[in-house]
Structures are given as C-alpha cells and as structure tokens.
Structure 1
C-alpha cells in the first residue's frame, strides 16, 4: 500500500475523527467521483460489493518525517474538496506503516470501510449525501444544467458532470 512513497499520498483535511465529518465525506467523494461506473449517464449503480477503505489520520499522529503540503490543484475532479486537499510526502514508509498500525490499535486513527451492502455500518451513499448537503449550503440550489459560477471544472469532469454525479449517487 505504501510502496509508492515517491508519488506521495493524497489526503483531505477533516477537523474531527468522526467518520461523518464533512472533511471525511468530501475526501470520500473526491476519491470516488473518479469511478466511471458512478456516472448518471452510464445508468449504472455502484456495485454493492465495491468496498472502499479509508483512514482518518489526525495530522499530529503523522511521523515527523512525513511532510504535507496544501495542494488544491491536485484534487483533479471534485471542486468542493479543493480547499481541503493535501499531498503527503513520505520519507519512510515503514515508519508511517508502524504509526498507522499503532494509531489504529490505540484508536487515535480510525479506519472506515464504506460499502453499499448491509455488512458494513457506514454507507457509501451516506458520505455522498453529507457532501451533497454541504454543497447545497455552500453553493445554493444545484442544477447540473447550470452549475454555480463559483464551481470549477475538474481535469476530467466538468462542473456539470461533478454535480450530476454527486446528485445521482447521493440519491441512490
């Protein structure tokens, strides 16, 4: 998992360790929106067996050798998460792995598995609904045919496609 240390890891700021925190939900959506099978235009629902794992790691738990940099430009396809996007620069992947395992054991780092099936207690669609609610508060009414002027296009997804996908998955 940490073998690609030269490329760094993308992360999103969350102010709490609550899995329902808006920072966590924005990160889940920013990562998930890149899945083409979620697009409303494809007419496909997310596979109920497609499970994602997520870690909520407080910055003060990161090893001293881990550096992070605010990089909104690297959140390529979900504009509302831009102001929370950071890239981690990992100097010692073994140290980070030990930190993560110790943090999970002492419960300073929370692991979350997100899926549509009933096997998991956190629903993927709920993260999208939390994000959708936040976006309504930030931008007002969302119409994918006429996105808010303050919502920017992504690298691969227009503002319209981002909003349409957000609405499609949040509504389930």
Structure 2
C-alpha cells in the first residue's frame, strides 16, 4: 500500500461505532469529515486528544465537519471511554486493523528496544468532494484540535 497524500481519495471503510452507530465512507459522502486514528481508549494522550476535539466540536460542527475517532480497541472499552468523557462524536472500532492498514496508520513501533505493531496517531481531513485535504502524522494530542480547526476553516 502506497502512502496516502493530499488530493487522494480516502480508502473505503465501514466500522461499528459508539452509541450503536455504524460509520462508513459511503455514509459521509458529500460532507467534510475528520478521521483521527488513536492508539488506545482512555490512555493519557488519547484522552487529551479526544477531550480537545470534544471542546472544539461545537465550532467544528458550525463548519459542517463530522469527526470520527478510530482505534484498534473492541467496542466495550470504546463505549466506556466515550461515556466517561461525554464524547459526542462517534468512536469507531477497527479491531482487525483493516482500516488502519489501508490508511497506513498501523505501523511498526518500538519501545525499550522491543518492536511491535500499533496505531500511529494520524488524522485525515476529507473535503466534501471526497478527497483528502490535510494529513497530520504523529499528532501531538494537545495541539490537534487547533490544527484541525484551522484547516477546516479553509474547506
């Protein structure tokens, strides 16, 4: 799989999401959206990132932007995380990592010299025309909501 670039059409996806929802590329057709991939529900960095996006949600909504968080977690921990922090946007489960692999976010990582596969914190902003407008790789959780807000204003 070659790496995705700005201007590309995003890979197709359909995943179960919090609140009993299903999210899909088809269901978002004709509207701008943000897919943000995060490693694990209810961990410090992922919580900072999700809460930052939740705070920005009213402003992002005014811009017509739909936000979907994606992690390799199963639905029970995702539901618990969404409820614990009052997250109003869907969090999707990519338990088999098929979507993360298609987007190039399921990568080899290293900790204490040990290599393993895991989710890279990456986001994709997709325009209403169905093409990728911005990509953020190795996202810094604290700054992410502001970066998305700035880019979404340009859509």
Answer 1 or 2: higher relative contact order, Cα 8 Å, separation at least 6: 2
Give the shorter-chain TM-score range: under 0.3
Higher strand share: 2
- The normalised TM-score by structure 1 is 0.23
- The normalised TM-score by structure 2 is 0.25
Higher helix share: 1
